[in-house]
Amino acid sequence: MYKVIAVDDEQNALNRFERLIAQDNRLELLKTFTKPADAIDFIKSNQVDIAFLDIEMPEMTGLELAECLMDVNPYLEIVFVTAYNQYALEAFRAHATGYLLKPLSHDDFTAQIDSMEKKLEKSHVVEDDKLIISCFGAFSIKKANDFEPLRFRTSKAEELLAYLVQNEGRARSKDMILDTLWPDADLDKAANNFRVTCTYIRSTLADFGYTDVLVRDHDDYSINTARIKCDYLEFRSKIANPDTLSLPEVETLINLYKGPYLENRFYDWAEETKGWLEGRYIQLLYRAGRLYAEADRIDAAIDAFESVLRVDLYEEDAFKEVIRLKQKKLPPAAIRDYYEKYKDSLFKEYGLGPSQEIKELIKAI
């Protein structure tokens, strides 16, 4: 049996709930509440599967109450109850299982429970499996041992998760998040969007067994880094001084960098970090190239320095290293051909030609 609570400021509505629930042997009504605060206290010490919440209540709206309840129990299924159709969209944006219109009918109530039963029967992933978050190249979030990324209905859900990941488990205040993710929105509208987004993230992740990824402490929010495996976090933890890393350590970090940070996302707040990470990646490539050259792995060294040029064609130190290494393998004519292609690419990319130093280097070959 599914354990149920109902919250409504009208006692008559709660009486109607009691009669409907008594007719369905799948449900056990634990308690009804006219005060949202009492429901919050109750759920802290009682296992509840389903909560029926009136949307319009004087002390706290049903949407606000849903967020508080799901902070305690992310697995909780929410059904909003309202006399007004216009609340349906907002209810689903809050990732409710459904909504019911007043006056409640037996058929609508039974249909809602039938639909909910199918959802509640879905299996959850093992809690010990970490959520896989990829930030280099295409941003994606995957269940452990799964190839397909999770699909979020809203772009803000992904952006909020990416923002909290970038902060590496450090808490950020609600006000700071609103200023960063909704800088131009009306404050009340931004706060409502933030609340709905948090509820949706918790509910979506809970469907797959991840109940403690998004952490709230009063009005501070963070990502639980112990519950995720993330290329960005691993890269940050190992990159302190690229010039002291061994070749295996360098190769590990280069392999983590699948592409620019959050490549397919355009977030103003991420641009500084994106540039910093690209700079560190270039340092790694230089380090790899020099270590390969020392080990007489000429082809690998050339590839490392050419990888620098693929990131920034105007990195002339990398071009000089390529020329120096190619002189060990190629005749002068082939090197001059390589230079001409580089010069053409440089002009197409920047409208510039090589520096005088590069010209002198090629002239001397």
Of 229, 253, 281, the one marking the end of a domain is 229
DSSP designation for 136: B
CATH of residue 253's domain is: 1.25.40.10
DSSP designation for 56: -
What's the pLDDT score for residue 64? 87
Q: Is residue 329 in a domain?
A: yes
What's the pLDDT score for residue 311? 96
Q: Is residue 234 in a domain?
A: no
The Cα 170–Cα 178 span in angstroms is 16
**% of the chain surpassing 70 pLDDT:** 93
What's the pLDDT score for residue 45? 86
**205 and 260 housed in the same domain:** no
Q: 304 pLDDT band (50/70/90 cuts)? A: very high
CATH of residue 183's domain is: 1.10.10.10
- Residue with the larger pLDDT of the pair 91 and 140: 140
The Cα 273–Cα 22 span in angstroms is 57
What's the pLDDT score for residue 85? 59
**281 and 308 housed in the same domain:** yes
**148 and 110 housed in the same domain:** no
**b (16+ CB within 10 A) / e for 194-231:** bbbbbbbbbbbbbbbbbbebbbbeeeebbbebebbebb
Helix axis angle for 187-206 and 62-72, nearest 10°, is 40
Q: Give the pair of three-digit tokens for residue 53.
A: 């919440």
Q: Give the pair of three-digit tokens for residue 171.
A: 């808490």
What's the pLDDT score for residue 124? 42
Q: Is the pLDDT of residue 357 over 90?
A: yes
Q: Residue 50 pairs with which residues in a beta bridge?
A: 4, 77
Tokens 């010039």 belong to 243
Q: Is residue 322 in a domain?
A: yes
For the stretch 121-137, pLDDT in tens is: 653 444 458 899 999 99
Of the listed ranges 16-20, 32-36, 93-97, 273-277, the least confidently predicted one is: 93-97
Alpha carbon separation from 219 to 196, 305, 326, 353 (Å, rounded): 15, 47, 58, 54
For the segment 37-42, the average pLDDT, to the nearest whole number, is 95
The answer to whether residues 273 and 166 touch, using CB atoms and an 8 Å cutoff, is yes
The answer to whether residues 335 and 351 touch, using CB atoms and an 8 Å cutoff, is no
Of 94, 122, 150, the one marking the end of a domain is 122
**% of the chain surpassing 90 pLDDT:** 67
Q: Is residue 270 in a domain?
A: yes
Q: Is residue 235 in a domain?
A: no
Other beta carbons within 10 angstroms of residue 329's beta carbon come to 11
For the stretch 136-172, pLDDT in tens is: 998 999 987 777 889 898 999 999 999 999 999 999 9
Q: 208 pLDDT band (50/70/90 cuts)? A: confident
**261 and 188 housed in the same domain:** no
What's the pLDDT score for residue 126? 44
Q: Is residue 51 in a domain?
A: yes
CATH of residue 91's domain is: 3.40.50.2300
**269 and 187 housed in the same domain:** no
For the stretch 263-292, pLDDT in tens is: 989 999 999 999 999 999 999 999 999 999
**150 and 117 housed in the same domain:** no
Q: 120 pLDDT band (50/70/90 cuts)? A: low
**252 and 360 housed in the same domain:** yes
**148 and 100 housed in the same domain:** no
Q: Is residue 35 in a domain?
A: yes
**202 and 265 housed in the same domain:** no
Q: How many CA within 13 A on the CB side of residue 287?
A: 21
**205 and 275 housed in the same domain:** no
Contacts of residue 146, Cβ cutoff 8 Å, sequence gap at least 6: none
Q: Residue 142 pairs with which residues in a beta bridge?
A: 132, 149
The answer to whether residues 301 and 289 touch, using CB atoms and an 8 Å cutoff, is yes
Q: 194 pLDDT band (50/70/90 cuts)? A: very high
**272 and 359 housed in the same domain:** yes
Q: Is residue 280 in a domain?
A: yes
What's the pLDDT score for residue 182? 97
**70 and 174 housed in the same domain:** no
Count structural domains, the chain: 3
Angle at 318 between CA 135 and CA 332, to 5 degrees: 140
What's the pLDDT score for residue 125? 40
Domain span including residue 23: 2-122
Of 208, 229, 250, the one marking the end of a domain is 229
Q: Is the pLDDT of residue 113 over 80?
A: yes
Q: Helix, strand, coil shares of the chain as percentages rounded to 5? A: 55, 15, 30
- Average pLDDT along the chain: 89
For the segment 66-75, the average pLDDT, to the nearest whole number, is 80
Q: Residue 173 pairs with which residues in a beta bridge?
A: 220
